[in-house]
Every structure is written in C-alpha cells, then in structure tokens.
Amino acid sequence: MSSAEIGKQRMPRIVVQELTDELIRFMLLGTDVSIANALRRVIMSEVPTIAIDLVEVIENSSCLCDEFIAHRLGLIPLLSVKAAEMEFPYDYVGDDEGKTDISIDLRVKCTSDQTEDVTSNDLICNDPRVQPINYAPTRRAAGENNTSDDMDEDRGEDNGILIVKLRKNQEINFRCVARKGIARDHAKWSPVATAVYRFEPEITINEEMMNTLTEEEKIAFVDSCPVPVFRYNDQTRRVEIDTPESYTYDGECLKKAEDMGKPGLVDIRAKQDSFWFTVESTGALKPEEIVINALKVLQRKLDITKDELDNVAKEQAENFVV
C-alpha cells in the first residue's frame, strides 16, 4: 500500500455526548453510512446476551397455557455480564453444562383468597450474576415460607415483571435453563430497546437574505421550527443557530422560508461522514458495554472478510503464475 493510499484511509472515532445506566448518545465521525448502518445492525442483533431458552413444566394449573408462560419467561431481560464467559450451545462440544446452561426455577402456589401476582422477583436464580434486571427477590424466592400478604409487603416499590396471575390453589412449578444467544436467532436475546442513528445536519443561514426580513418575520421563522434549531438574538437582532443537533429533518423551516418568498434563506444538508447514535439498553448490559461489544463483533467480521479476500487474491496470483 502506497503512502498516498494510507493518507486516504479514514480514521473513525466516537465522541460520547451522554451516558446513563440505560442510555448512551454518541457521535460517530470520520466514516460513511455503510459502517454506521453495520454498527447499528450489529448492536441490535449480534451482541450476545443471556435469556431463558428452555422451560420444563412440572406443574401449571394457572389460566395460561404452558407455551404462553414459557414465552413470557424468555422475554424477561437477564443481567448478561457473564455472557462473555459462556459458550453458545450450538458451538460447544464439551461435557461441562456450566459453560452453556444456567438454571433458574419458578415455584409459586397461591394460598390466599386474593389474586396472586407472579413476577420476575419470584424467580429462583442459582447464579447471582444471572438474574432479572432490577431483581428484588421475594422471601418466597429466597426460600422462606411466607403467606401472600408477606410477599406483597416484601416487594417494595418495584414489583418486577408480571409473568402470570394465580387464584387460590393454583400453582406453577417450572425449571428453566438460561443460555447465551443473539437477537438474530430470537428477539429475546436483544440487548437494546432502541438503536437508531441520524445524519448530522450542516446548517447555513443566508445572512444577506435574512437581513431583508423584519423583526416579526425573523421571529416567525424561528418559531416555525418544531424544535429549537434557531434562536432570535434580541441584542444583535439576528437569527442564530442554537441547537443544530435537535433538527429532525422535518423541513418546516424550509417551508416557512418559501411561504415568506425567501427560498434559499437557509441551506440544510446532511453530512455524509457524521452520525448521531442513540442506544437504549434493556438492562441486560450497560449501554457502553453494548457499543464496545458491537465494535468487537464488527471488527471480527471485518477481519474474517479481509482474510478471505487475501486468500482469494493469493489464489488468483498463484493461478496467474501457473
């Protein structure tokens, strides 16, 4: 590779703008839409998490059928930090089930005259690192014998994710197996609730044309945008760009400029090498871990592609020599 070609290489970078326990907002700079979309798709469908995959029904006298409850159990987000240490069940050929399986039990019987809510807090988790998000186990899940009234007092503000409701003398007894997987196989392994990106807008104001507007027209133009992209400065009497990142490509300000007989008052274009990402976690993984793991998966895919292309080029070179 020549020095000129090396100079043309892009150097993508990420700038984190907001980070909470549930959400990350960042800018992806210095690349094109193909990489941005690839990253989004990997985040959504190829970051491994842990979810309930197998359910053995020992007893179910509730009003819901076995398959319905098993489906609801599978969709409960589980803490998935341990996923990095586990193996995919379809890849592992060893005899150690601990590498692929994590057991979770659910045993509840209603003895009260009132309806009993069975939630994710009633799951009996045998591995403390793999449990439902916001897990606040009831005394029943902890192995203590209590009445239904004691359970309600023990739940606190977070009642957990509802699984099923039981009436008096109804009972459920399930043995579950949680496994590592990816959302490409089933949505229950998805680590995110949302993962979206949008182009960074490049906004330019035609100052010469803007100066021909009256103060009322400038204010009306600023107010025409549903989000505060522009602002009117009372001191300078000028329209300024306030928060360009809030622009949603609705086109309202452009329509207002045309209605005022001033087409071209502002020029808004999407930058082709700058993207705003918003990734919201289900709670299975921290949002920053999701992005880091997605980048690792994408890097691994690119490495495999490069190796295959190198092999093809090598075979073609050998055939040409022959």
| Residue 158 confidence class, pLDDT cut points 50, 70, 90 | low
Q: How far apart are CA 95 and CA 282, in angstroms?
A: 32
pLDDT tens-digit series, residues 293-320 = 999 999 999 999 999 999 998 888 888 7
Q: How far apart are CA 261 and CA 213, in angstroms?
A: 11
pLDDT tens-digit series, residues 221-267 = 999 999 999 999 999 999 999 998 889 899 999 999 999 999 999 99
The predicted pLDDT at position 139 comes to 85
Is 90 exceeded by the pLDDT of residue 145?
no
The predicted pLDDT at position 322 comes to 55
| Residue 108 confidence class, pLDDT cut points 50, 70, 90 | very high
Do the Cβ atoms of 178 and 131 come closer than 8 Å?
Answer: no
The predicted pLDDT at position 255 comes to 94
The predicted pLDDT at position 72 comes to 97
- If DSSP codes are grouped into helix, strand and coil, which group holds residue 279? strand
Is 50 exceeded by the pLDDT of residue 64?
yes
Is 50 exceeded by the pLDDT of residue 2?
no
Q: How far apart are CA 256 and CA 259, in angstroms?
A: 5
CB atoms closer than 10 angstroms to residue 30: 13
Distance separating the N- and C-terminal Cα atoms of the chain = 25
Is 50 exceeded by the pLDDT of residue 151?
no
Is 70 exceeded by the pLDDT of residue 217?
yes
pTM of the model: 0.83
The b-or-e profile of 292-302 (16+ CB within 10 A means b, else e) is ebbbebbeeee
| Residue 8 confidence class, pLDDT cut points 50, 70, 90 | low
Is 70 exceeded by the pLDDT of residue 153?
no
Do the Cβ atoms of 171 and 25 come closer than 8 Å?
Answer: no
